Amino acid sequence: MVAKKYEFVDHTADIAVRAHGCDLDEAFANTATAMFDIITDGASIDTSTEVTVEIEAIDREGLLVQFLSELILIHEVDRLVFTDFEVSISGTGGLKAVCRGETFSQKKHGGGLHVKGVSYHMMEIFDGTAGEPSYVQVLFDV
């Protein structure tokens, strides 16, 4: 596990995040954590509900966008927020994630921003080599 899960990257209009991890699985998980921290303004989230997400895409960039977009959809439709993610990427085109969280409460989680989508703009995916940590950079449309 890396010391710093994510950091914000300067952007004029939207919110850019660089998430770190010992591997891409952890970097993808930390990107999802950052997104829900934006949505809930870092409010505490219990882990009483578990949802499994499975995604397939033609490349890792597509996997990242589809994964985060699926989480936005689940948040919007099922009114869930998540805090704990176990991500497993298989090859370049498959992802399975177990996501733990709870039902969104305006009183408890309502202090953040509405994340409308995920952009390919500014996206970077670095799969660590020779002991270097992995990272993912993504832009959220708010």
Output the six-digit token pair for 50: 């578990």
pLDDT average, residue stretch 63-76: 98
Q: What is the pTM of this model?
A: 0.94
Domains and CATH numbers, the chain: 6-141 (3.55.10.10)
Contact between 62 and 70 (Cβ < 8 Å): no
Instruction: Return d(Cα 118, Cα 140) in angstroms, integer.
Output: 5
Which of 75-79, 90-94, 135-139 bottoms out in mean pLDDT, i.e. has the lowest? Answer: 90-94
Contact between 72 and 115 (Cβ < 8 Å): yes
Instruction: Return d(Cα 15, Cα 30) in angstroms, integer.
Output: 15
Q: Identify the H or E element spanning 48.
A: none
Which of 2-6, 36-40, 68-72, 77-81 bottoms out in mean pLDDT, i.e. has the lowest? Answer: 2-6
Counting other chains too, the contacts that 6-10 makes at CB distance below 8 Å and 24 or more residues apart are 6/30, 6/31, 6/33, 6/34, 9/122, 9/137
Contact between 64 and 27 (Cβ < 8 Å): no
At residue 1 the predicted structure's pLDDT band, cuts being 50, 70 and 90, is low
